């Protein structure tokens, strides 16, 4: 699973997805929490990419993983 996929799954959980039923794609797309550090990545792609998921720079990747894993 890529880091962007991990962030997207985090967003689904944040919007109340518990693994059953369909994922709340619309709720994630319309997320009101613009202050969240994952907000720009909530759709599973980099905000500066033109449709592709691409790779996040290694330093940013590490920071996101540490945040996800350690709060």
Could you tell me the residue ranges of all domains in the chain?
Answer: 3-70
Q: Distance between CA 63 and CA 28 in Å, rounded?
A: 22
Task: Please report where in the chains the tokens 């689904």 appear, as a residue.
Answer: 12
- pLDDT score of 61 more than 80: no
Query: What region does 10 belong to: left with phi over 0, alpha with psi -120 to 50, or beta?
Result: alpha
Position 53 scores a pLDDT of: 45
Q: Which of residues 62 and 3 earns the better pLDDT score? A: 3
Position 57 scores a pLDDT of: 66
Q: Distance between CA 33 and CA 53 in Å, rounded?
A: 22
pLDDT tens, position by position, 2-60: 888 889 999 999 998 988 888 889 999 999 999 999 999 998 888 776 554 445 566 77
Which pTM does this prediction carry? 0.63
């Amino acid at each position: 699973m890529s880091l962007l996929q991990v962030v997207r799954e985090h967003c689904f959980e944040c919007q109340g997805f518990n693994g059953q039923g369909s994922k709340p794609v619309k709720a994630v797309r319309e997320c009101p929490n613009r202050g969240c550090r994952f907000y720009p990545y909530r759709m599973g792609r980099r905000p500066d990419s033109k449709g592709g998921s691409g790779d996040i720079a290694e330093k940013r990747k590490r920071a996101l993983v540490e945040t996800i894993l350690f709060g």
